[in-house]
Amino acid sequence: MNFVDKLKDFRERLRDRHMFTIVITSLLVILALLGYIFKIRNDNKQALENRYNQAFFEMASYVENIDTLLAKSLISKDPTHGAKTMSEIWRQANLAKANLSDLPIEQNLIAQTSKFLSQTSDFSHSLTLQTIDQNPITTDQLIQIKSLSDYATKLQNSIFDLSAQLAEGRLSWNELTKKGSKTFANLEKTSDEKSVFQDMSDNFQDYPGLIYDGPFSDHIVDLEPKGITGNDIDQEKAKKIATDFIGQDKIQEIENIVESFNSKIPCFSLSIKLKSGETANVDISKKGGHVIWFLYNKDVENKVLTIDDAKSRGLDFLNSKGFTKMVPTYYIDENNIATLNFAYTDKSITIYPDLIKVSVAMDNGDITGFEAAGYLFSHVDRNISELKISKEVALEHINKDLNPEYTGLAIIPTETKEEVLVHEFKGEVDNRDFIVYINADTGKEEDILIIINTPNGVLTI
């Protein structure tokens, strides 16, 4: 039987319904299998893309922390604090290198970046051991740190450009395999960075970083609330406190109230319908009836007030609610709503743990948010000790390159959840603004913060 005869025979068979059903079913099974294989390939491709994204953005975060910590280390004079900073850099550099190695970029093209992270890690470890023994960082070592800091800033800028493209979906990892490699390669070919890797010993190493939206705003973790006083209240009392706090004239109705035990401060959570149409949420502590926080979302289209106006509105509001002796510190202005940090003061001493945040609408000065957790966790009557170290003596412990300006006494929390009295100095190095805190009892350098001036406000790292 030739080919033509076979084809005719097959056509005759197809006329039989049973054979036709078999063929159609087979085709459907094949199509389903192809669809399943295609889906599996796509799922695997997406999983790989997600893994690369995670590695890249984690690396970007670590490099940003390294840049910040290296800048801080340039102005630190206290060996103990310097050891903590260097140990912090060590861990961040190691983590950044681990994530860098997971990226689909040819290793020979990122060799210098990997070398930078390795030597930053090693160098900082060496300085950690040195400063733990109370041996200060030398001038030559500061020059090396400055070189590392300059390269970290350039590397961060390069990574930031790629981050923006990835976040906006304008770049996939298939493209980044080529474009990312070119970016890292170009960065490493510039002659300015070569000095970073010269004159460094072969046996160094390093360790982590902190980010605040204002100085010491995260100090309340794992603390017990000291400022929660008074007797327990019931739901009706909670409703009255919330009504007085917001203003009876602004409230349409209290829609819901529940009792919550899931937070550090057991409270009543209220949902309140405002006459303006928005819904406000308020938490009132069960013990003592303290307002923990209040928030409602308001669309603010126009900015009429200045930041100074907002600070004045915030202070007036706090005074009206019984929070006196508060001073504005740092702020951020987003979507025409200014969120301001206010710290308690006692005898002209700024007490940063006693922190309250107030949000002010920049069109008419409405208070759209209030958060007093920091204040309620920390506020007590303090017995502030006599000064043992004068501001003049404290100034001797400050890096003179900072051109320091004395801004007063303050109380800050430590990593061990204790509080210390400090002298606060502000200054500038290499176009970066810093705050340095010197212990008023021992003269020890307690902390260094970098002030970040953004278009939306003033923050600290």
Residue-wise pLDDT tens digits, 209-258: 222 234 555 555 446 788 999 999 999 999 999 999 999 999 999 998 99
> Is the pTM here over 0.95, yes or no?
no
Q: Looking at beta carbons, which pairs linking 58-64 to residues 24 or more positions away fall under 8 Å?
A: 58/95, 58/99, 59/96, 59/99, 59/100, 59/103, 59/159, 60/156, 60/159, 60/160, 60/163, 62/92, 62/93, 62/95, 62/96, 62/99, 63/96, 63/152, 63/155, 63/156, 63/159, 64/156
Per-residue pLDDT tens digits for 366-423:
999 999 988 999 999 998 888 999 999 999 988 888 889 999 999 998 776 789 999 9
Per-residue pLDDT tens digits for 418-436:
899 999 999 998 888 899 9
> Parallel, antiparallel, or unpaired for β 337-346 and 419-429?
unpaired
Per-residue confidence (pLDDT) for residue 86, from 0 to 100: 85
Dihedral (Cα; 387, 391, 397, 403), 10-degree rounding = 160
Per-residue confidence (pLDDT) for residue 221, from 0 to 100: 47
Per-residue confidence (pLDDT) for residue 46, from 0 to 100: 62
Contacts of 68 (CB under 8 A, 6+ apart): 209, 450, 461
Task: For the chain, give the percent of residues with pLDDT over 90.
Answer: 34
Contacts of 263 (CB under 8 A, 6+ apart): 283
Which residue type does 211 have? I
Q: Is the pLDDT of residue 23 over 90?
A: no
Per-residue confidence (pLDDT) for residue 101, from 0 to 100: 76
How far apart (Å, rounded) are the C-alpha atoms in residues 331 and 343? 12
Q: Is the pLDDT of residue 206 over 50?
A: no
Mean pLDDT of 428-449: 90
How far apart (Å, rounded) are the C-alpha atoms in residues 7 and 4? 5
**Maximum separation of any 2 CA atoms in the chain, in Å:** 113
Q: What are the distances in angstroms from CA 202 to CA 9, 94, 101, 121, 131? A: 81, 16, 21, 11, 18
Q: What are the distances in angstroms from CA 5 to CA 8, 9, 97, 358? A: 5, 6, 69, 89
Rg of the chain in Å (alpha carbons): 30
Tell me the H-state helices in 102-136: 111-132
Contacts of 278 (CB under 8 A, 6+ apart): 296, 297, 298
The encoded tokens of residue 119 equal 């030597």
Per-residue confidence (pLDDT) for residue 284, from 0 to 100: 95
Per-residue confidence (pLDDT) for residue 298, from 0 to 100: 87
Angle (CA) 212 393 133, round 5°: 70
Angle (CA) 211 215 216, round 5°: 80
Phi and psi angles of residue 456, each rounded to the nearest 5 degrees, phi first: -100, -5
HSE, side-chain direction, 13 A CA sphere, residue 74: 25
Q: How confident is the model at residue 316 (pLDDT cuts 50, 70, 90)?
A: very high
29 alpha-carbon distance from chain centroid: 52
The encoded tokens of residue 272 equal 């309140």
